[in-house]
Structure 1
Amino acid sequence: MKKTILAFIVFACFPSIYAQAVEEKIAVKTCECLQKKSGVITEDIFRDCLTSTMSETILTDNDQKVRESINTVDGIKSMIQKVSDAVIKKCPKLLPQEPEDKTTIFYADSKNEKAQNSYVIAKDFMKASNYKMAIESLQLSLKEDPNFVLALDDIAVCYRQLNDFDNAIKYYKKSLAIFPEGDLALMNIGVIYSLKSDSKTAIDYYEKLIKYQPNNAEGYFGAGKNYFILNDEEKALDNIFMAHVIYTNEKSEYVKDSEQLLGAIYQKMKSENKEDVFKKIAAKNNVKIE
């Protein structure tokens, strides 16, 4: 009797030992692929290994249900998630490294003591709206540390406050040469070009902001506002709807600005018999129009 029970247990466990789930098979092959890579494992390398092994394994599997499991977008997403979880368990040392937080690095105090001291003095002048003296202190700071991004951005702010737009642009460009993803510089240089009535250039900078920070409403709002000025209502709408959704989700007070601009665009399009186009773009952006 004991032998019978033991035999049953061994027989029952056999499938679980040898019948590997498809995601487990993919995970094993993904780990093997990652092991062959030299250098740092990036997100791109991880994704390429995972997707290539997933396609190869599933498409050659004899089980039709396995192949059918990725016939839908949800099926693919579910499989990628399961495989990713399995890879984390099987080869945790081969996972992609966390991306470097460039904002924290570049929007930091200067390591040069003299540069930092001059910067602190300049900030006091800025608080007192004494922008000319602030510029002098910031120039001293930049003399000690020419790559001090915060000082470059703030000297641009000071020039803008003095309506010296050309110098403001000059220093924002210097800032972007060091830190191209800088949201403060991208947003504010867009504002300055808008003030100079150069909407096309303003849009270029706002779209760079969207590229680097797709969840930042300011890029969409700035681009949309300038597209509207250029009479491109459809691109204006696409951007303003995006800004509106983000503002709404963040419960931002700026939602009033997006509502006001959407109202202006609607009235213009209505007068041009383009009301249906407005509603179509609204629906595309998941915005319900009453």
Structure 2
Amino acid sequence: MTQFFKFCFILFLGCSTVTSAQDKKQQKEIKKLSEKACECTDDVSSALIKEEIIDKINFCITQAIVNEQMDESLKELKNIQKLLKETKWETRVENGDTVYVADKGSKSVILADKNFQEIQDYMMKNCKRMKTLIGSEDLASDKSYSSNPEAMKFYTEGNKYAEKGKNDKAIESYKKAVKADPEFAFAWDNLGLSYRKANNYEEAIKCYNKSLEVDPFGILPLQNLAVVYEYTKDYKAAAGTYSKLIESDSNNPEGYYGAGRAYYMAGDYEKGVDNMFKAFVIYTETRSPYASDAQNNLAFFYSDLKKQGKEKIFEDMAAKNKVDIK
């Protein structure tokens, strides 16, 4: 983890980025493998918890990488052995890499992580299914849904309007849903989201707070409430809300990421950098696609603090989080 961050830190603050260093052939390969991995994500269920979704997406990426190299290895093997009909493979690990050795001595090294980060970043920008899966946050509880048929009818109706971009109609349907069942948490969440899309932040805040009254342990309304506070530039309120999210689930990097951003914008640089480092460490350890977002924020923080002559804050927080940036 430490070496990984040092590498990325140099890239973001140095002369070049990964993309600019890649030749056209490599970019083409990344695009090809990203598209294959994206197809694989069609089989990933959005009903899984986020950690499982990320694991399955990452498996799709690794599978695409390995399959491509196996295909290339077999092609090369055929050339070397003049279309050998049968090949017996011995599998072993050399220096951390999986190595496949053919029965006649031909060796093929399979790098399961080859361009992994670049493929993951490409998919985050271009794979619609991946973005949908990563964005799914609705963790159900006893208060999430309603046993009232009328409330569920209006909720489903609202979802259909929302999917079609008919936000005004979605708002009316969700309002009918919460009127039929005032303790319908997901309906309050979606009503808040619809108000947010309509730039009616005051009503959005009311809806998210209502959802939290119904279900105090709701993760989604906490996250969305913090986002609305950021939209209204109330960074202190946003930071406080993200801190509640961290208290709710200290292993959730989203809380640290949001708190890092909000605290920094509120002028509390130390807490901002500290929380962003915590988010980056968790994202990296779980191989989350959001690791690059945390990198970008940290690079900005460092650049901004350096201009102010306060880079020691960054260095101290890096040391606190056991990240070597030297």
Contact 2:269 2:313 in 1 (8 A): no
Q: Can you list the C-alpha shifts for 1:243-269, whole angstroms capped at 9, x where unaligned? A: 111111222221121111111111122
Contact 1:181 1:209 in 2 (8 A): no
Other structure's SS at 2:251 match: coil
TM-score, reference length from structure 1: 0.62
Match of 2:157 among 121, 124, 127: 121
Q: Can you list the C-alpha shifts for 1:197-220, whole angstroms capped at 9, x where unaligned? A: 111111111111010011111111
Within a 5 Å distance, the mapping from 1:35-74 to structure 2 comes to none
Q: CA deviation at 1:272?
A: 3.2
Other structure's SS at 1:279 match: helix
Other structure's SS at 2:227 match: helix
Q: Distance in 1 between matches of 2:151 and 2:299?
A: 48
Match of 1:204 among 234, 237, 240: 240
Structure 2, unmatched stretches of 5+, are 1-138
**Correspondence 1:270 to 2:294:** no
Structure 1, unmatched stretches of 5+, are 1-102
Q: Distance in 2 between matches of 1:185 and 1:114?
A: 23
Contact 1:190 1:205 in 2 (8 A): yes
Other structure's SS at 2:141 match: helix
**Correspondence 1:159 to 2:195:** yes
Q: Can you list the C-alpha shifts for 1:150-173, whole angstroms capped at 9, x where unaligned? A: 000000000001111111111001
What amino acid sits opposite 2:259 in the alignment? Answer: A
Q: CA deviation at 1:107?
A: 5.8
Highest Rg: 1 or 2? 1
**Correspondence 1:253 to 2:297:** no
Other structure's SS at 2:140 match: helix
TM-score, reference length from structure 2: 0.55
Identity level (%): 39
Q: CA deviation at 1:142?
A: 1.1
Contact 2:212 2:221 in 1 (8 A): yes
Q: CA deviation at 1:177?
A: 1.0
Match of 1:225 among 261, 276, 292: 261
Match of 1:194 among 230, 249, 254: 230
Map of 1:172 onto structure 2: 208
Number of equivalenced pairs: 188
**Correspondence 1:183 to 2:222:** no
Contact 1:247 1:254 in 2 (8 A): yes
Q: Distance in 2 between matches of 1:205 and 1:216?
A: 14
Q: Kindly indicate which of the two structures has a greater share of residues assigned to helix.
A: 1
Map of 1:289 onto structure 2: 325
Map of 2:275 onto structure 1: 239
**Relative to structure 1, is the Cα distance of residues 138 and 277 closer, same or farther in structure 2, using a 3 angstrom cutoff?**
closer
Other structure's SS at 2:271 match: helix
